[in-house]
Amino acid sequence: MEIIKTKDYDEMSKQACVKVIETIEEMHQPVLGLATGSTPEGLYKCLIDAYKRNKVHFDKVTTFNLDEYIGLSPEDKNSYHYYMNENFFKHIDLPADQANVPKGNTGNASQACEDYEQLIREAGHIDLQILGLGVNGHIAFNEPHTPFNSRTQVVDLTESTRDANARFFESMDDVPTQAITMGLESIMESREIILLVSGFKKAAALAELIHGKKTESLPASILKNHPNVTIIADEEALSKA
């Protein structure tokens, strides 16, 4: 795992932005894996800005988001689909049928998981996957003790993750208890992975990832097995490493 230390959040976002644009320029039909949460917001702003300045186009890009809450429709303001529309998709020239987010509100979630894996296979797998890091070391919604060989599936969210994400909801009761997430093995099939980490609250998990051993109690530690991972983290996130 290569580690790039940045001064702050803005520099982390800019470095990731450069990397995403390079990937789009290099590939004929690039496939990007996208994340939600606060961490990638700066990256999306930077990409939108580059698009507006005619530095990048998304018409040949296909995207796959990592996860979605069960029970929320794409129109629900707290769904990850809504987040992606507001923070990224509606500002760029990515055709709507090339932007994929797991379907959290179908009657048949396990079928939705299988369909999602099939779509990723048909697209030829993910060229560059963007990841954030949960305070408990989760990636996507793969919580501690998720088997390393997990595929896209429905998962129960831990209280710590529901707490961490409650800031986006009106009350704790509104925070869903389940989600669809790409599995750890599915994520590992990406050709290249960038893990973005910012702020003191992620410092302990990041230190454990860098110095600890590979263990299912820290889902992100599976990344140690991947040949092409770059961690872009700011000084605060690296303060305990």
- Footprint of ligand GLP (CB under 6 A): 35-39, 66-67, 132, 134, 140-141, 161, 165
Q: From the CB of 41, what's the least distance to ligand GLP, in Å?
A: 8
User: Minimum distance from CB of 35 to ligand GLP (Å)?
Assistant: 5
Min separation Cβ 25 and ligand GLP, Å = 26
Ramachandran quadrant class, 3 (left: phi over 0; alpha: psi -120 to 50; beta: rest): beta
Provide the minimum distance between the beta carbon of 187 and ligand GLP in the complex, in angstroms, as a whole number. 10
Per DSSP, what are the bridge partners of residue 154? 180
Comparing CB distances to ligand GLP, the nearer of 140 and 218 is 140
Angle between helices 9-26 and 41-52 (to 10 degrees): 50
Name the phi and psi angles at 177, rounded to 5: -100, -10
The least distance separating ligand GLP from the CB of residue 130, rounded to whole angstroms, comes to 9
Which amino acid, 99? Answer: A
Residue number, 30 or 33, with CB nearest to ligand GLP: 33
Point out the residues that are catalytic.
Answer: 67, 136, 138, 143
Q: In what order do the strands lie in the sheet with 192-197?
A: 2-6, 229-234, 192-197, 128-131, 31-34, 62-65, 99-100
**Cβ closest to ligand GLP, residue 92 vs residue 157:** 157
Instruction: Pick the closer one to ligand GLP by CB: 52 or 77.
Output: 77
What span, in angstroms and rounded, lies between the C-alpha atoms of 155 and 157?
A: 6
Distance (Å, whole) CA 198 – CA 50: 22
- Cβ nearer to ligand GLP, comparing 58 with 83: 83
